Structure 1
Amino acid sequence: MFRPLELYIGLRYTRAKRRNQFISFISAVSIVCISISVIALITVMSVMNGFDYQMKTRILGAISHATISGIGQSIEDWPRALQIAKANPHVRGAAPYVEIQALLQGRAPAAAMARGIDPRLEPSVVDIGQHMVHGKLDELTPGNWNIVLGQDLATQLGVSVGDQVVMAVPEFRATPFGGMPRMRGFHVVGTFSMGMEQFDSGLALINIQDAEKLNSQSGPSGIRLKLDDLLNARPVARELADKLGQIYQVQTWEQTNANLFSAISMEKKVMGIILSLIILVAVINLVSMLMMLVTDKQADIAILRTLGATPRSVMGMFMVQGLLVGLVGIGFGVSLGSLLSWRLPGIVKWVEHVFHVQFLSPDVYYITEVPSRLEWHDVGWVAAVTFAFSLLATLYPAWRASRTQPAQALRYE
């Protein structure tokens, strides 16, 4: 079977001979180093993707994809705005809301965001109802002054289902004793757990009519929207802003949490660059191996040159061996890195259970479990970068081999 001369000789040089066992050992070390670097880069990129996905999923599970709000405290003519929003083909759900910064008092005090919702429309916008630990959102009936608390918030207040909490809002009213904040007692009818400290310890849900009465509002603070695809948030926001007019403001989830998601994206890019440099360091072993091979094969190169091999052919022979080492390292690295990324959450849980440690504390991080999300375009990017580094590493040793002078190389043979 015909094979190109460069490929045939390059593959033959990869076989271990009695006098170049050390070169074969260096080749094995190069493969191992490249594989470890690829495994590290794929795993880290998968963890960063996991953090990004979990943050988006959990945050959007509580805040919605887009929000329509007014210039003042409440939104004007909100039924019209709600109708226009629902008419958009990308809008899958819309629900009005009222938000109040409040101080809650149970057995202990705690500050929280009190959100007035319509229990009938809320499930079409967010999935808090799917994360209920006790009770249901349907129990938030108007006039009964019921409240649903985040699980951690209930713990801070020292209350449970059936207890009562007092809510104070920062709207002072004149009394014979001076200015007093508005206060109202609520019955705890449920708790929820979103898995994010931001919401579990800082969010309380009440009926929207009760919130309007408590905050002396004539309408909701805004309308929250759920879209068919969160990536459509920007064009949908622009379209709705044009139809609603200047008295309305439309914000997307990207604008509301721009700093957070920008930080995650920047961290992913920085980690990718840093670990790419680690791959470059690993490829230096490949340069050393090829330089030693060129020195060891001086006589063979000279004989090939006298038989008519061109400098380009000699260069191709050594590039074949360098690229073969790089491809084997990439193959092992991609396979093991993908497997590790796939099984990483389970491995981390096992380590935490065996050694009784917790890598992500809920008091510090949004997410309490190490996530991992393997994306194949990242795997392809890692493989391409590693292959490019391997190709660059072969150029100088192969060029040195092509510059070998037959007469000088064979003088002492």
Structure 2
Amino acid sequence: MRVAVVREVREHERRVALVPELVSRLTGAGLDVVVEENAGHWAYHPDEDYAAAGASLAQDDALDGADVVLAVQPLEPERVAKLKPGAIVISFLPVAAELDTIRAAREAGVTMFAMELVPRISRAQSMDALTSQALVAGYRAVLVAAERLPRFFPLSMTAAGTVPPAKVLVLGAGVAGLQAIATAKRLGARVEAYDVRAAAAEEIRSLGARFIELDLPPLEGAGGYAREMTEERAQLQRDLLAPHVSGADVLITTAAVPGREAPLLVQQPAVQAMQPGSVVIDLAAESGGNVEGSVPGEEQTVGQALLWGARNVPSQLPVHASRLYAANLVNLLLLMTSDGEVSVNMDDEIIAGVCVTHDGTVRHEPTRELLGEEG
């Protein structure tokens, strides 16, 4: 069966869905791998490396005759329409923003898998692309902050005097938040963090950071995420966090739940109260923002602080982001592969969980609701 790896064409996307070192895992399973020309260019993987690893380079359209398509971003509707019935596409697929692509897949009889929907179960950990990319984003967030902060991160004791460490506040202690904490600590900052989940306190402390106690009941939710809170509770939390925000040199916010708008954690008055030169990194800017007024891909001044709105942060480190994402894709694809044949077994909870369209129908219930009568 033919597995096609496409070149990403969406703006600001530098990752690639398969790296040369993982080609042998697919060819070893009896699959033919075809890579579109320059697919790995921005991730520093030239065509020759794919060829040396056993992949073929597409002479024309890589999608021609493809049984499986691997991508980072969703395919455009017109490319989906060209696929043969029964073809499989595996990519990220934010359903609310990609309804035209989903309609095209339904009409073409194409099976589409969304990597955001990998269930949070032990057996699926090696396929969890949200986790792998959040790891990259958390690390990158601290580097962005350190570059923009007009102060040192670490404590420095010199003959000319002592330079105190930067004070870093991280809101949200999922994978991205914990990686941000660990990276800020490695750079020598004094770090404190907050999360609404009680279980996060121990994880935060284990990294050497101080856990902020707000005297609010925890909000544990399903799948390791926090559950939604009332607006009254949310405002109380924002008010209690405000003094911690104003006292920080760097604020990094990471709270996001797939498929839902990011919770508003910090309002503009708290940012305006920060010291001159302070830096705010909102990793949730693309899903609504944890910080009031943040805009994806833009830097702006709020008071005397710099507010940086994140946009496709993992793509800013395309080498390792691609390596991690490709491993997630390969593990999912091999789950469906036996003796060189890829089949969709809806009795498997992982496969059923990530499936959005199959056999001319929309199987993902939230997507059907978005499509209304069309679903």
Give the structure-2-normalised TM-score: 0.25
User: Which is bigger in relative contact order (C-alpha 8 A, separation at least 6)?
Assistant: 1
Query: Comparing both structures, which one devotes a greater share of its residues to helix?
Result: 1
Give the structure-1-normalised TM-score: 0.23
Structure with larger Rg: 1
